[in-house]
Chains A and B, each alone.
Chain A
């Protein structure tokens, strides 16, 4: 008889439990298409970013420059769009310029980290302040705003009740999942994160793969910046403040190991959505901001512990099974 392996589903179970709890507590406000759309909208930027940054986490790297690269690309897209007159063409070029900025930033990260063998923590810590400085210089430390309809549509235009960023998140998450699960490059990423020396010996181009990972992270961060700028109709050096933490937290809650080699994209998206649902729940329950932090922390600990407990059960079972086969092997010998 085939037993259902519940531990595999612990993350969806947590989300469903959350949805049920909030549906009971706040049926009218919570259970509506609008609200689900709002929750997904609020996590879209984090979801887009973590879909790329996960590559960096998986090779055992880290990116501390997410927030300021997000600000820089937001500034680039708004400035270029404004400069070219705010039409559809201007917006497309603006988005392109922002994405190029992100990819370049990622390539620089990757090159420096692999060439000089400096920890990613240090390199991205330094570039974080470079990007911030660039964003300040480009804007003269002011808010640049853009209300051109073609630009604001990126963040607010709705299809079937869901705003565009939600679709962006879905597409990019799916693409990222496919690359990680179905391609050779995806295997390399896990291999490099698991054991870079062994990967190198077995013929994987570790350096190339690592640089690629940082480029992907730069690209999604830039896209996150574009979406955020469009949603808020403005950009400044302060755009995206706090997103570095949010993205790393989403990954870690979703079971991505910062040591590399471990974690899945659905896990990371789970982390982002859980945080979104949590914030939404706290708002709908009118939890005062003085208590919100406390409640949030407690819920995250409980959810993560529940998830980890299930995984521990799973590995215990594996050990048991292994011992059993070893014993039978001994007996037969």
Chain B
């Protein structure tokens, strides 16, 4: 028994040492890079590579939660761009909705010498130092939808509309409701910049219509089943509820199911945002009134193209005075135009 234990221990030590040896080979270069970068004070140690010329490059895609349709859409979008080049490799990581884990993954990716990082920040403040560290080590960082705090300049931000998305939803919703009635909002997790802006855009615009009143706002943590519970209590508290705006489509779908169960299918003007496949189907069936559609695949592809551009160019983050933004084209979808969104664009 004892001998077996010692043997296992030895195997474990050997395994760890071999791992360390592998990692060591790759880290040396970037470690030096990061060191000299810090010494010079905010200069990048970027080495230009040519991904389209056959240089072996690898991109890390780090999601807040790899399980959501959005993240899957971005991942596939990134792969669509890179799959045609055998020398470009993409690795996907999920942070399991934890900012600490994401910081850890960032550190690992920097040490492993990735050529670019595509990141959906779990927490803008927590991730800012990691983003800075990556850029100093010469690794361009492209954030998707959720950015790190704005004073941390990095290669690019690709995002779906936020404030304007809320405005567009509010305008169309007001029109559908005949500019009168009570509205409730189903929120996600408070404190995320993009969704907070979406809500703000919605509220600011609705405030212009004197006949419409926002009576309540509750969180359903972006979850479909929780949204059903929240919607049920809205229906109890406000029997004359005329509209619901949910910050994402999953929650709008949940609200629509709750309305269906209360025999109010189609009677309440339910809106979401994102444009995922199931929401479009619910707009077709009349359960939901509309959504703000963004093509997730396109968004992922755009992020990947920028990453390739940045790693293949002379420029790096030191020449920038602010993080450049690409905002994806929003499409206001209602029953009238939902048929225009082709099957192959439904993610």
Contact = CB atoms under 8 A, between A and B. Distances in A.
Interface in B203-255: 216-219, 221, 223-225, 228-230, 232-237, 253-254
B326 to A, nearest CB: 25
A245 interface: no
A30 to B, nearest CB: 7
A234 B224 contact: yes
Interface in A232-271: 232-234, 236-238, 241-242
Given A228-B225, A234-B224, A141 B67 contact: yes
Among A29, A141, A284, residue most surrounded by chain B Cβ atoms (within 10 Å): A141
Given A34-B262, A289-B218, A284 B67 contact: no
A283 B229 contact: yes
A317 interface: no
Nearest to A157: B261
Nearest to A236: B67
Contacts of B221: 242
Contacts, number: 88
A136 interface: yes
A232 B254 contact: yes
A159 to B, nearest CB: 13
A324 interface: no
Q: What bracket does the count of chain A residues touching chain B fall in?
A: 35 or more
Q: What bracket does the count of chain B residues touching chain A fall in?
A: 35 or more
Contacts of B235: 34
Contacts of B260: 156
B278 interface: yes
Interface of B: 65-69, 72, 75, 187, 190, 216-219, 221, 223-225, 228-230, 232-237, 253-254, 257, 260-262, 276-278, 281
Given A142-B72, A232-B253, A234-B278, 19 more contacts: A29-B236, A34-B262, A38-B229, A41-B229, A41-B232, A45-B225, A141-B72, A143-B278, A233-B257, A238-B67, A280-B229, A283-B218, A283-B229, A283-B233, A283-B234, A283-B237, A288-B218, A289-B217, A289-B219
Interface of A: 26, 29-30, 32, 34-35, 38, 41-42, 45, 136, 141-143, 145, 156, 158, 163, 228, 231-234, 236-238, 241-242, 279-280, 283-284, 286, 288-290, 292
